[in-house]
Structure 1
Amino acid sequence: MNQFIKLFSSAAVIFLVLDFIWLLLIAKKIYQDQLGSLLGPTKIIPAVVFYVLYLIGILFFVIYPAIEKDSLIYAISAGAFLGVLCYGTYDLTNLATIKDWPLLVTMIDLVWGGFVTAMTCGVTVFIAQHFNWR
């Protein structure tokens, strides 16, 4: 349990810092321009549930296997794949079902999901290797 708390906390800080920089400083205008009236006030509870579930998922599917394999490359590549898969589930479903959902948002989100998840997994595994959290 102690290892889980260390890994979860590390991954959470990395993911949240990157995602907040992305959402608040970089992509905010893009989303406002592209999604316009679809945007509403942020609902905190669903956002927290997403972050907790997503972080547990990346620990289970990527970080623990990467630590067991002792492979930073695995963490980064599997993290990228999982990020594209998960963000793609949301965005491609929206593209398929929501009238006028912008293709640009889907493309940007797929790249972002792959990048943020790869970085979170890679940095978390690097920290775990450095501090010998096995």
Structure 2
Amino acid sequence: MAYLKPFLLAAAAFTALDLLWLGVVARGIYARYLGQHMRPSTDWIAAILFYFIFLSGIIYFVVQPGTNNSGMAVLLRGAFFGMVAYSTYELTNRAVLQDWPWPIVLIDIAWGTVLCALVGWFSWYFSQNTT
């Protein structure tokens, strides 16, 4: 039960921010650079599996260790987790896929860093400060 509340808070924040990012803010950027790689429709099974695994990582590595830390420590831990995770994906793609664009690598790493910092902090803060 100690993980359920922060997980649900993280899921709400991550979903809202990521859908805003993917569906509105960066939609044109992805279409421009990755149009040839994009699916006509989302594979929701893969998306849900990713969200579940990734959010579990945020809770385990960012939120739970932050229980006795400051909000700044949680923000920094979240930023580092996001940078590592998104760098792993983007730099692997750049290394092995032909024509994987550098702008997407840099944009996604920056986005993952900010996203995970915010989601981790949000989940930590509202888990600590609500009943």
Question: Is TM-score (shorter-chain normalized) higher than 0.5?
Answer: yes
Q: How does 1:42-57 map to 2 (within 5 A)?
A: 42-57=42-57
* Alignment match, 1:61: 61
Query: Cα distance, 1:42 vs. partner?
Result: 1.4
* Alignment match, 2:32: 33
* Alignment match, 1:77: 76
Structure 2 unmatched ranges of 5 or more: none
Query: Cα distance, 1:70 vs. partner?
Result: 3.0
Match of 2:100, SS state, is coil
Shift >4 Å, 4+ stretches: none
- What's the Cα RMSD here? 1.0
How many residue pairs get aligned? The number is 130
* Alignment match, 2:97: 98
Q: Name the CA distance, whole Å, in 2 between partners of 1:27 and 1:74.
A: 28
Q: Name the CA distance, whole Å, in 2 between partners of 1:79 and 1:70.
A: 13
Q: Name the CA distance, whole Å, in 2 between partners of 1:106 and 1:43.
A: 22
Query: Cα distance, 1:4 vs. partner?
Result: 1.5
Letter in 1 for 2:93: N
Letter in 2 for 1:84: M
* Alignment match, 2:127: 128
1:119 aligns with 2:124: no
State TM-score, norm by structure 1. 0.93
Structure 1 unmatched ranges of 5 or more: none
Query: Cα distance, 1:129 vs. partner?
Result: 2.2
Cα deviation, 1:30-70, whole Å, max 9, x if unaligned, reads: 00000121111311101100000000011000100001x23
Match of 1:99, SS state, is coil
Q: Name the CA distance, whole Å, in 2 between partners of 1:90 and 1:112.
A: 13
Letter in 2 for 1:38: H
Q: Name the CA distance, whole Å, in 2 between partners of 1:116 and 1:91.
A: 15
Letter in 2 for 1:108: I
